[in-house]
Structure 1
Amino acid sequence: MSFRVPTILAASGLMVLGACTDPSMNGGTGTGTGMSRTQQGALAGAALGALYGVSRDSDSNNEGRDAARGAILGAAAGAVAGNILDRQARSLQQSLSNPNIQVVNHGSYLQVVLPEGILFATDSAAVSGVAQNDLYAVARNLNQYPNSRVEVVGHTDNTGSAAHNQDLSQRRAQSVANILAAAGVQSGRLAATGRGFNQPIASNDTASGRAQNRRVEILIRPTN
């Protein structure tokens, strides 16, 4: 590959990034680096597109041209995907009434974190009436953006046996998934999984840490 290929790749990526600047991005849907997910998607798409363009060059005579074409097409596709996630995350955050629900845009998927205290009574898998309103808001958002698969994952702290916590986390995840399905999300898009206490996000040595670990996460992964 000649030295012109990375030069063209960089220029193409910067060109698309300049065209898709979104200065309004902040909070849970932004990156904290001055680049929106749209811009990050464009840059990643440009890099992958350039590599694909070079790999498709059969005679190696037009590497620069093929890389540039691939970079531009890849950047466009990446920007579209990133922009969709940006918009979905903003819409979802605005639709939720409980400020303790987190919506995190990871660039390739969205993560909705619902603490146990919002959803369930102690050692119960029955979703509270108030929490159901927010789950219906999540379902409406999922129906507005149908091109995704949705994984509902239950988590607990380490109080009690591993078997009990595994069962509780599975039942809680299934309860949330059932409400999303009842609100109109196609069951084929939904999967419910219990992780017990195997994936803590805080120390189980403190009450506050255990409270953070008791949660249900909704992971929204685009399919195209």
Structure 2
Amino acid sequence: MLTKQIMIATLSISSLALVSGCTTNPETGNRVLSKAAIGGVGGALGGYLLGDLIGGKRDRTEKIIGAGLGGLAGAGIGYYMDEQEKKLREQTAGTGIDVTRDGDNLILNMPANVTFPFDSAAIQPQFQQTLGEVANTLSQYEKSYIDIYGHTDSTGTDSYNQSLSERRADSVANFLVNSGVQRARIETRGFGESQPIASNSTEEGRSANRRVELKIVPINEQDL
């Protein structure tokens, strides 16, 4: 129990660092993580979001090669992700989805109150159009990996929350695949209640913790 409390406290502090470490590009208006924030959070989270891809880059690369997808090179990586980011921001504006830039990676935070009914892994009908547009952009920009992370609040048992987080991540993955995104690009993982970004002692905090996140990482041709 004590270990779990320490972990939660560490993650909460890290989440504050994420928020306070976000800066705004004066030209584009885009939110990005400062280098200081990335360094501070990376140590606390040990690779979560800011670290390695699910399943390891070698295994993921084999799938990408098998699917016949190419990679990006040099300065083209930044431009490619800039254009993808612009489209995703346009499609998610006003929906409650938060798009954050981390170097050349993109992170989409999708709160459960707009994506799923309470205690369910079924994507809400009113959100399917937005997610469909996101899927369309991900299909167009195929030279990127997509990691999908499911999260819950601390209500309920650990095992139930773990299962729910996995089912929600899988639900989003299946929707993307059915909408034309190549399955080889996608991996999923459920974190249950272990990765809170707010306090579970308030309804507002619990609502923030119930979420699905997409991490979009460019495929570097040097890795192929």
Which bin holds the TM-score, normalised by the shorter protein? 0.5 to 0.7
Q: Of 73, 80, 87, which aligns to 2:83? A: 87
**1:26–1:79: structure 2 CA closer, same or farther, 3 Å change rule?**
farther
More helix, by proportion: 1
| Residues 85 and 105, structure 1, Cα contact 8 Å, conserved in 2 | no
Q: 1:99 is matched by which residue type in structure 2?
A: T
Asked whether 1:109 is paired with 2:105, we answer yes
| Residues 162 and 192, structure 2, Cα contact 8 Å, conserved in 1 | yes
1:78 shift after superposition: 4.8
- Alignment of structure 1 residues 1-224 onto 2, 5 Å: 24-28=27-31, 30=32, 78-96=74-92, 98-224=94-220
Q: 2:178 is matched by which residue type in structure 1?
A: A
Query: Distance between the aligned counterparts of 1:221 and 1:184, measured in 2?
Result: 18
**TM-score computed with the length of structure 1 as normaliser:** 0.66
SS of the residue aligned with 2:75? helix
Q: 2:27 is matched by which residue type in structure 1?
A: S
Q: 1:206 is matched by which residue type in structure 2?
A: T
1:132 shift after superposition: 1.0
Moved more, 172-181 or 82-91: 82-91
SS of the residue aligned with 1:25? coil
Q: 2:101 is matched by which residue type in structure 1?
A: N
Moved more, 97-106 or 156-165: 97-106
Runs of 4+ with >3 A deviation: 30-33
Alignment RMSD: 1.9
SS of the residue aligned with 1:204? coil
Q: 1:27 is matched by which residue type in structure 2?
A: N
Query: Distance between the aligned counterparts of 2:173 and 2:94, measured in 1?
Result: 19
SS of the residue aligned with 1:154? strand
Query: Distance between the aligned counterparts of 2:30 and 2:154, measured in 1?
Result: 31
| Residues 85 and 107, structure 1, Cα contact 8 Å, conserved in 2 | no
Query: Distance between the aligned counterparts of 1:199 and 1:32, measured in 2?
Result: 21
- How many corresponding residue pairs? 159
1:31 shift after superposition: 6.0
**TM-score computed with the length of structure 2 as normaliser:** 0.66
1:98 shift after superposition: 4.0
Q: Percent identity?
A: 42
User: Structure 1 stretches of 5 or more lacking a match?
Assistant: 1-21, 34-76
Query: Distance between the aligned counterparts of 1:31 and 1:117, measured in 2?
Result: 25
SS of the residue aligned with 1:192? strand
SS of the residue aligned with 1:112? strand
1:23 shift after superposition: 6.6
1:83 shift after superposition: 2.2
Q: 2:165 is matched by which residue type in structure 1?
A: S
| Residues 157 and 197, structure 1, Cα contact 8 Å, conserved in 2 | yes
Query: Distance between the aligned counterparts of 2:117 and 2:185, measured in 1?
Result: 27
